[in-house]
Amino acid sequence: MEINERGFSSKALQDFELIDRAVNDKDQQAFATLMKRYKKAVYFMILKMIRDADDAEDLTMEAFAKAFRNLHKFKKDYTFSTWLFRIATNNTIDFIRKKKLKTMSLNTTLSDDGGNAVTIDVEDDDNNPQDEYIKSQRKEMVRIFVDKLPAKYRKLVQLRYFDELSYEEIAVELEKPLGTVKAQLHRSRELLYEIASGKAGHI
């Protein structure tokens, strides 16, 4: 079989099985397992690029939203982790461009599941037509699941992801301390992850 001939690790082969279950059987536990395996790695990779924990959490959510929505397009030419990291990297670079943040390098070299170096190619197009689409990934994920959130979090999520207010602006709007806003948004993201990974609702 070609997949085995390419020397993928057992973890990579398990990922392929999970993807098949997620795509073909709509197996919510398969989505949950994939997210659990890679959420922390994706988060820390993004955090290294932008040095902001709150934005890194938002961008991690976007990466998984886009990956899960496009999982049916995944080809087993590379490991799932390589494909996921490429999505997360390109999405983060778009965010950096938008915010005009300084970053050490836009070309990122990663190691795939087999320990091989993989260079992530980044299109250098200032008028990237995908910008709005990528930006919409977070909103799409939130829109699908927001009604399942406890009422106390819905307004926060509305202000952050639909009205696109900053943390400081939300604190003023709701007359809450900034620390409380950040803590509650952190919890709302965790709940969205739980919902998205199959504990409730559908991908």
pLDDT of residue 138: 61
Q: What confidence tens digit (pLDDT) does each residue in 169-183 have? A: 889 988 899 889 888
Domain count, the chain: 1
pLDDT at 94: 85
Whether residue 83 contacts residue 47, with contact meaning beta carbons closer than 8 Å, is answered with no
**Rounded-to-integer distance, Cα 194 and Cα 189, Å:** 9
Question: In this predicted model, what pLDDT tens digit does every residue of 80-94 receive, in sequence order?
Answer: 999 999 999 998 888
**Residue range of the domain that includes 180:** 2-199
Say what the pLDDT of residue 105 is. 40
CATH classification of the domain holding 178? 1.10.1740.10
Q: Which two tokens stand for residue 147?
A: 């009604």
pTM exceeds 0.75: no
Name residues whose C-beta falls within 8 Å of residue 193's C-beta, 6 or more positions apart in sequence. Answer: 35, 39, 61, 64
* Closest-CA residue to 148 (of 135, 160, 157, 159): 157
Residue 110 sits at φ, ψ, to 5 deg, of -120, 165
Report, as an integer, the average pLDDT of 5-15: 81
Over the stretch 93-116, which tens digit does the pLDDT of each residue have? 888 887 764 434 444 445 555 555
pLDDT digits 0-9 by tens, 133-185: 555 666 666 666 677 778 888 888 888 877 778 889 889 988 899 889 888 88
